[in-house]
Structure 1
C-alpha cells in the first residue's frame, strides 16, 4: 500500500481537527474477552480465568493487547455513519495501528471513547484518514491512547459486480442509530486532552532484564490460520469485509484468494510477544504498519511465522523496545512492527 508523502495534498474539507465523543459506552463482557482471546489465539490464562488474572494483580479477566480493535470497529462504523459518509466501510483498508497502554482493559469495564480526525490527505486516488482515539474506563482513567490510518476512495465508482457480490454476502443487520446520532461533536475550543504520565505498573515477566542485551533474538514462533479462523474473527471483531471469507469478493478486488484480517495478524503477533514475556500487561505500546497479507485457501491452513529482536533497553526504567517480523508463504506482513515493553 502506497503511503502519503511527497505530492500528498492536505484536504480542505474541514474534517481534519474535528473531535467527537462516542455517545454510548462499550461494556467489556467477560465472555467477549474469552471469545476474542480465542479468535486471536492469545493463550495466556489471564484472558480466560480470574485466578490467573489475580496472579498479575487484577480482579477481572484481562483483555488481550489488541482487544481495543473491537471497540475501534464500532467507532469506525459510527464515523462512517455520521461524518465520513462519502466512504463505504466495505471499501476501506487499514494501513497501520498503534495501541499505547496506560492500564489494562478488564472484563466489566465501561469504556468511553473520544475520537480525533487528526489529518486527511490525498495521495493519488486515495484519501488517507489518520484517526486518533482515547479510551477511558468507568473511573475516568485513561486505559489506552492510539491511532489508525484508514485509506479509501471518496466517491469512486465501484465495480457493479463487486456491489452485487457484496450485497449477496455482506451482513445486512445493523443496530438502530441513536436519536441524536452516534457521535457528539466537541467544540473547536474544547480543552486539549491531558494525558497523564504512565505509572510504573508491576509486571511479572519471564525474561530477566539483567540477562538481556540489545540485538538478542527472540525464539521463533508460528501460528496457523484456516478459513474457520477468519470467519470466527470476522464475527468476534465485528469486521464484515467479505474479502476475509468470500473468494468472489477477494477476486473482484484483485486478491489471489481470501486473506486474513490485518488486525488478526497483529493479534497473533501480540501472542508471540506475550508467550516470550509471560505477561500480556507488560506490553506498553504496540504499533504495526501493514505491508502484506496472509492468503488462506479454502482447503488448507496457512502458517504465519514470527521472529523478534531486542532493539534497545533502558536500565533506568527497565523497559525495552522489541522489533517484530511476520511472514506467510514468503510474503512480509509488516513494514514496521515495534513493541515497547516493561520487565520485572
Structure 2
C-alpha cells in the first residue's frame, strides 16, 4: 500500500466564517482569527486560520484512501500528528490536496499507517504539509457488534461524495511544479516578545481549558470527524473506552492555541508535532479539562527561533507523550 497517492479533483476554498467556526471549536480566540483589522496589524491580508485548521480539509481529502486502499480496517485511532507550516492559511485561499500513504509498520501486532497531506496554492507553492499516523483497528480488536451499532447512529449521508467544480477546471491544478513557500521562514514575525526575552528553560504561562460533551459534538460537526466514540457512550464502551473521549485533534488544536496565544503572532509557528499517549475522558454529568504548560527547550540565534516543549494533562494523566512547537521570534 505504501506509495499509493492521488490528487483530489476539487480545490478547497478557505472561508472567512469557517475560520471563525473552527477557531471557536478549538477555543482559540486570538484576534487574527476573528478580525481583519487585527490580522492586518500583524501584516496579513485577511483572517488567518488556526494552526490545525487544515486537518478538517484532510478529513475530506483522505476519504478515498480510507475507503479503498485502507478499507480492510474497521476503525482508526490517531497516534501522531505533525504540521509543517510554510504559509499561514488565509481567507480566500484555494488549496489543492495531494494525499499519499507514506509509511506502514507493525508494532505489537498493530498496523501503524502514516498519511501525508500536501496542500498547495494556485501559484504552485506548498502552504502546509501534514503527516498523520494512525493505528488500523480490525473487527478482532473491538466488540463484534460495534459496526452495526455505528451504522444505526452515524449521521445520515456521511461519506457521500460531493463535487463542487469540474475536475478539468484549471483552478484545481497548480500552474507550476509545487515548491515549498519560504514565506513563514523569511517573514519578520510580529510576536509579542523578542528573541532576547527567551532562553532555554523559559516557561510559558499555564492554561487550563474546560471541555464538555457539547464541545465534542460541536467539534465533530465543524471538523467532519464523526467518529461516535467522541459523543456516544455506548459505542465508546464497545470500543473498550471508559467513556466518551475528546478528539485527539481537538486537544492538539487547544495546544496550538496555547502556544500561539503566548507568541502573539500565530503565523510565527512553523512546525507543530504531537504524539498522543492518553485520552481526555468527558463525563456526561461533568465537564473535563486539559491543563497546558510549556517551556523553551532550545534556541537558535541564527534564525531567531526556539523549540517549545508542551505538556498536556487531563485528570492527572499526560495526554501528550511528546509535543513540540518550532517558533520564530521578533
TM-score, normalised with respect to structure 1: 0.87
**Where do 5+ consecutive residues of structure 1 fail to align?**
1-14, 183-191
Whether contact under 8 Å (2:125, 2:178) holds in the other structure is no
- Residue 219, structure 1, aligned to residue 205, structure 2: yes
Q: Determine the C-alpha separation between the residues in 1 that align with 2:227 and 2:234.
A: 12
Q: Determine the C-alpha separation between the residues in 1 that align with 2:123 and 2:179.
A: 16
Which of 27, 30, 33 does residue 44 from structure 1 map onto?
Answer: 30
- Residue 283, structure 1, aligned to residue 269, structure 2: yes
Which of 109, 128, 135 does residue 144 from structure 1 map onto?
Answer: 128
2:326 corresponds to: 340
Q: Secondary structure at the match of 1:218?
A: strand
Whether contact under 8 Å (1:98, 1:288) holds in the other structure is yes
TM-score, normalised with respect to structure 2: 0.91
Deviations 1:320-343 (A, max 9, x none): 000000001011011100000000
More displaced, 137-146 or 60-69? 137-146
Q: Runs of 4 or more off by more than 4 Å in structure 1?
A: 154-158
**Where do 5+ consecutive residues of structure 2 fail to align?**
168-176
Whether contact under 8 Å (2:125, 2:181) holds in the other structure is no
Which of 57, 61, 83 does residue 71 from structure 1 map onto?
Answer: 57
Alpha-carbon distance, 1:159 to partner: 2.8
Alpha-carbon distance, 1:317 to partner: 0.8
1:111 corresponds to: 95
Q: Secondary structure at the match of 2:24?
A: helix
Whether contact under 8 Å (1:127, 1:154) holds in the other structure is no
1:264 corresponds to: 250
Q: Determine the C-alpha separation between the residues in 1 that align with 2:121 and 2:182.
A: 17
- Residue correspondences, number: 319
Which of 169, 175, 187 does residue 201 from structure 1 map onto?
Answer: 187
Which of 299, 310, 320 does residue 324 from structure 1 map onto?
Answer: 310
2:16 corresponds to: 30
Which of 241, 248, 259 does residue 273 from structure 1 map onto?
Answer: 259
1:244 corresponds to: 230
Alpha-carbon distance, 1:34 to partner: 0.5
Deviations 1:228-282 (A, max 9, x none): 0000000000001101001101111111111100000000111111111111111
1:8 corresponds to: none
Q: Determine the C-alpha separation between the residues in 2 that align with 1:334 and 1:152.
A: 20
1:135 corresponds to: 119
2:172 corresponds to: none
- Residue 298, structure 1, aligned to residue 284, structure 2: yes
2:148 corresponds to: 164
Q: Secondary structure at the match of 2:97?
A: strand
Deviations 1:102-134 (A, max 9, x none): 000111111101122112222344211111221
- Residue 175, structure 1, aligned to residue 160, structure 2: yes
**RMSD, matched Cα:** 2.2
Whether contact under 8 Å (1:86, 1:155) holds in the other structure is no
